[in-house]
Structure 1
Amino acid sequence: MAKKDVIIIGGGAAGFFAAINVAEQNPKLKVAILERGKEGLGKVKVSGGGRCNVTHAEFIPSELVHNYPRGEKELLGPFHKFMTGDTIDWFEKRGVALKIEDDGRMFPVTNSSQTIIDCFLNEAEKFGVEVFYNHSVKSINKEESDFKVETTQGLFSAEKVLIATGSNPKIWNLLEGLGHTISQPVPSLFTFNIEDERIKDIPGVVAKDVAIQVLETNLWSEGPLLITHWGMSAPSILKLSAFGALELAKLEYKFQIEVNFIKQSFEDCLEVLKVLKQDLAKKAVYKSTQFDLPKRLWHKLVLASQIQIETRWADINKLQFEQLATQLTKAVFNVKGKSTFKEEFVTAGGVSLKEVNFKTFESKKIKNLYFAGEVLNIDAVTGGFNFQNAWTGGYIAAMAIVNSS
Structure 2
Amino acid sequence: MSSPEKRRVAIIGGGAAGFFSAITAAEADPDSQVTIYERGKQLLSKVKISGGGRCNVTHSCFDPAELSKRYPRGSRELRGAFHRFQPQDTIAWFAQRGVTLKTEADGRMFPDTDSSQTIIDCFLKAARTAGVIVRTGTGLNDLTRLEEDTFQLTLSDETTAIADKVCITSGSLKASPITRSIESLGHTIEPLVPSLFSFNIKDSRIEGLAGLSVQNASVKTIPKSPAQVGPVLITHRGLSGPAILRLSAWEARKFEQNSYHLEISINWLGNTSQNQLRDQFASQRSASGKSLVKTRTPEGIPRRLWESLLQAAEIPPDTQWSQLPKDRETGLVNQLTDSRFKVQGKTTNKDEFVTCGGVKLKEIDFRTMESKKVPGLYFAGECLDIDGITGGFNFQAAWTGGHIAGLAMTSD
The answer as to 2:98 corresponding to 1:98 is no
2:408 aligned to 394, 400, 403, which one? 400
- In the other structure, the counterpart of 2:3 is none
| Residue 256 in structure 1 maps to residue 259 in structure 2 | no
Q: Distance in 1 between matches of 2:101 and 2:273?
A: 41
Displacement, 1:178?
1.3
Match of 1:172 in 2: 179
Query: How far is 1:132 from its partner?
Result: 0.6
Measure, in 2, the Cα distance between the counterparts of 1:253 and 1:170: 27
Query: In 1, Cα distance between the equivalents of 2:109 and 2:225?
Result: 31
Distance 1:376 1:352 in 2: 7
Instruction: Give CA-to-partner distance per residue, 1:324-376, whole Å, 9 cap, x none.
Output: 11111111111111111124210000000010001000000001000110110
Deviations 1:108-154 (A, max 9, x none): 11111001111111111111111010002111001112100011221
Alignment of 1:21-170 (within 5 A): 21-144=24-147, 145-153=149-157, 154-168=159-173, 169-170=176-177
How far, CA to CA, are the matches of 2:309 and 2:285 in structure 1?
17
> What is the aligned partner in structure 2 of residue 276 from structure 1?
284
The residue that corresponds to 2:199 in the other structure is: 192
Q: What amino acid is the match of 2:84?
A: K
TM-score (norm 2): 0.95
**2 CA distance for matches of 1:39 and 1:255?**
37
Task: Show the counterpart of 2:213.
Answer: 206
Q: 2: CA distance between counterparts of 1:122 and 1:58?
A: 28
What SS does structure 2 have at the residue aligned with 1:374? Answer: coil
Structure 2 CA distance for aligned equivalents of residues 213 and 20 of structure 1 = 41
> What is the distance in 2 between the residues matched to 1:128 and 1:266?
62
Tell me how far apart the structure 1 counterparts of residues 375 and 114 of structure 2 sit (CA, whole Å). Answer: 41
State the SS of the aligned residue for 1:131: strand
Give the Å deviation of 1:226.
1.2
Q: Determine whether 1:326 maps to 2:331.
A: no
**What is the DSSP-based 3-state SS (H/G/I as helix, E as strand, rest coil) of the residue aligned with 2:247?**
helix
Conservation of the 8 A alpha-carbon contact between 1:55 and 1:383: yes
1:290-309 → structure 2 map (5 Å cutoff): 290-309=298-317
Counterpart of 1:234 in structure 2 is: 241
| AA in 1 matched with 2:163 | A
The Cα shift of 1:248 comes to 1.4
TM-score (norm 1): 0.97
Identity, % of aligned positions: 48
Instruction: Tell me which amino acid in the other structure corresponds to 1:202.
Output: L
Shift of 1:4: 6.6
Matched residues in 2 for 1:119 and 1:246: separation? 36
Q: Note if 1:389 corresponds to 2:386.
A: no
Q: In the alignment, is the contact (CA less than 8 A) between 2:37 and 2:134 conserved in 1?
A: yes
Contact conserved, 2:49 with 2:116, CA < 8 A, in 1?
Answer: yes
1:185 Cα offset (Å)? 0.5
The offset of 1:311, in angstroms, is: 2.1
Deviates more, 1:308-317 or 1:201-210: 308-317
The correspondence for 1:6, drawn from 9, 15, 22, is 9
Q: 2 CA distance for matches of 1:343 and 1:267? A: 39
Contact 1:4 1:156 in 2 (8 A): no
Which residues of 2 match residues 310-349 of structure 1 at below 5 A?
310-349=318-357
Structure 1 stretches of 4+ with a deviation exceeding 6 A read: none
Which segment is superposed worse, 58-67 or 314-323?
314-323
| Secondary structure at 1:283 match in 2 | coil
Match of residue 20 from structure 2:
17
- Tell me how far apart the structure 2 counterparts of residues 91 and 28 of structure 1 sit (CA, whole Å): 23
Preserved CA contact (<8 Å) 1:172 1:351 = no
Q: Is the 8 A contact 1:172 1:350 kept in 2?
A: no
Mapped to 1, the partners of 2:300 and 2:410 lie a distance apart of 56
Is there any run of 5+ residues in structure 2 with no aligned partner, and where? 1-5
- 8 Å contact kept, 2:12–2:139: no
Are the equivalent residues in 2 in contact too, given 1:55–1:384 (CA < 8 A)? yes
Aligned partners of 1:185 and 1:347 also within 8 Å: yes
Structure 1 residue 399, shift from structure 2 partner: 0.7
State the alpha-carbon separation in 1 of the partners of residues 204 and 95 from structure 2: 49
Paired positions, count = 402
The CA deviation at 1:9 is 0.4
Contact residue 72 and residue 249 of structure 2 kept, 8 A: yes
